Amino acid sequence: MKYAIRLSLPLAAALLLAGCGASPEERLARAEQAYAAHNYSAARVDLASVIQEAPENAKALELLARTYIDLSDPVSAGSMLERLGRLGKLPADAAILQGNVDLMLGRYDKALAAVEGDGSAEAYRVRAIAHIGLGDTAKAGEAFAAGEKAPGSKGRFLADYASFQLENGNLAEARRLAELAAAEKPRPLNSYLTSADLLATDNRLDKALTIFEAGLKAYPESRAALLGKIRVLDALGKNEAVRPLVTKALADNPGDLDLAYFDARLDALDGKWQVVRDKLQPRESVLEQQPQANALYARALLELGQGEQARARLTSQLLREPDNRQVRLLLGKAELSLGDASDAVETLEPFAGLPDATNEELSLLAKAYKAAGRPDAAAVAQKAREAAGARIVSQLASADKAIRNRDWQTAIGDYEAILRQTDGNNVLVLNNLAFAYTRVGDQAKALTFAEKALRLAPDNASVMDTAGWLLHSTGKDRKRGLALLEQAARKAPDNATIASHLAQARKG
């Protein structure tokens, strides 16, 4: 009995094109090459066209099952496996393939059943992830530990084991496993993702970005690697690099909520709240599936004076995510904007018991107390000021340590956080931030902060040196840069760094 494949119109058109001029054997060979290059969409088209002509071609059916798994389409993958089963031509690792299908469909008990009796590392990987899905991390840990000693390919297993250790805070073990996974040939996609996540955890964002980019080069259709790259660029503040990536990806995948969130977030950073609302409003019914997008949409509503709508959306989200501090803060703001001080107090009061409560959280709570006529409003406001001061001292210490350790991204993160929590005019912070940005190669941002520091402290030798050297080294204004370096040298004649910069600037 022959089985027909139901096709969407775009895929049907692609199949017609795929079949033009090439024999089934040529298309199968082409699909094998595309699959090896991780171009799964191209492989799918050729394989589907082959199967359309030869429904019992087991080689094509098997490769298409693997392709669908790599495309995260478990339903279609399962269908291919069923057809292979009816033909009596299941591959040797059919249990692993079926286990992966069941994992993607959330059928964790079936995944465990599928690999029962299989002693390979990949089978232990399926078991471990199934136990995680069932909420049993202890059994997951046991499966991972047993799998490391099991035979067979271990690349994907090691990467997932590293992620498991990372999630459980065992960073040293996670790094060990990630290094082993990265050494596997060919390197699996999840190895790139895990290595990048570990680097991001260490705040080594530039290196994390490099790994995500390498993953995208090896796996050009990977949504996970693309989103990882976008998140790191966003964390680095490189919005000009994020926008074209998001625009192109969203055009190819208009229903992707993660991409829709980043698209709207770029406008939020520019204060374009009406644009944010207009972009997210058509997705209102599904925004709850993406908590960040839902909170951003609620904030846009709040910024546009639609407090009731914002409150309704945030109330629902906070019930689902009671530990989400951003949502709690936004809901408190919405309630205060509507004049509901007592509700705001009830929403915001959990911040009072948090040892790491921020100045913003405690200040809003103090405002709610005052609006509600609470006598302890002044005490909470004082606590907010003390928390802000302690946090800034801690961040300054962290940033200074990062500078000494040449951990530029940590320094940048800490210094920028200090600027956000203060009036943004601390000359030392601005100057050090300019220096840190030079070390990560972002001369434009470095010069922006250096110029601001210079405006605030035009007679400070270190500030003149930073700005002068940047003006010279970037070529933006060499004449002014040289003049600043000469002034700095006169004010601090014993400063070796300033003297070195001046000597180099004089050479042109």
Mean pLDDT value across residues 185-189: 95
The per-residue pLDDT for 8 is 41
Q: How far apart are CA 11 and CA 41, in angstroms?
A: 10
The per-residue pLDDT for 286 is 96
Please, which residues have CB within 8 angstroms of residue 289's CB and are 6 or more apart in sequence? 257
Per-residue pLDDT band for 355 (boundaries 50, 70, 90) equals: confident
The mean pLDDT of the chain is 91
Angle between helices 137-147 and 121-133 (to 10 degrees): 170
pLDDT at residue 365 is higher than 50: yes
The per-residue pLDDT for 156 is 96
Write out the DSSP string of 395-422.
Answer: HHHHHHHHHHTT-HHHHHHHHHHHHHHS
Which CATH code fits 1-91? 1.25.40
| Cα separation of the two ends of the chain | 81
The per-residue pLDDT for 352 is 84
Residue with tokens 């374009």: 272
Buried b (16+ CB within 10 A) or exposed e, 198-230: bbbeebbbbbbbbbbbebbebbebbebbbbbbb
The per-residue pLDDT for 239 is 86
Least confident of 19-28, 197-206, 273-282, 429-438: 19-28
Please, which residues have CB within 8 angstroms of residue 338's CB and are 6 or more apart in sequence? 307, 308, 311
Cα-based angle 90, 187, 139 (whole degrees, multiple of 5): 70
Q: How far apart are CA 132 and CA 120, in angstroms?
A: 19
The per-residue pLDDT for 375 is 82
Which pTM was predicted? Answer: 0.75
pLDDT tens by residue, 237-264: 888 899 999 999 999 999 999 999 999 9
Q: How far apart are CA 359 and CA 38, in angstroms?
A: 48
Buried b (16+ CB within 10 A) or exposed e, 103-138: bbeebbeebbebbeebebbbbbbbbbbbbbbeeeee
The per-residue pLDDT for 150 is 97
pLDDT at residue 270 is higher than 70: yes
The per-residue pLDDT for 206 is 86
pLDDT tens by residue, 297-319: 999 999 999 999 999 999 999 99
The class that CATH gives domain 423-506 is mainly alpha
Contact predicate 418/429, CB 8 Å: yes
The per-residue pLDDT for 197 is 95
Per-domain boundaries in the chain: 1-91, 423-506
Phi, psi of 154 (to 5 degrees): -125, 0
CA 219 → CA 187, 251, 274, 461, distances in Å?
10, 19, 36, 50
Q: How far apart are CA 395 and CA 393, in angstroms?
A: 5
Q: Name the DSSP letter for residue 349.
A: G
- Give me 257's structure tokens: 């909520």
Per-residue pLDDT band for 18 (boundaries 50, 70, 90) equals: low
pLDDT at residue 13 is higher than 70: no
Give the percent of the chain with pLDDT over 90: 74
Q: Bigger pLDDT: 379 or 349?
A: 349
Per-residue pLDDT band for 382 (boundaries 50, 70, 90) equals: confident
Give the percent of the chain with pLDDT over 70: 95
The per-residue pLDDT for 232 is 93
Per-residue pLDDT band for 21 (boundaries 50, 70, 90) equals: low
Write out 348-363 in H/E/C secondary structure: HHHHHHCCCCCHHHHH
Per-residue pLDDT band for 405 (boundaries 50, 70, 90) equals: confident
Query: CB 70: neighbour CB atoms within 10 A?
Result: 19
pLDDT at residue 131 is higher than 50: yes
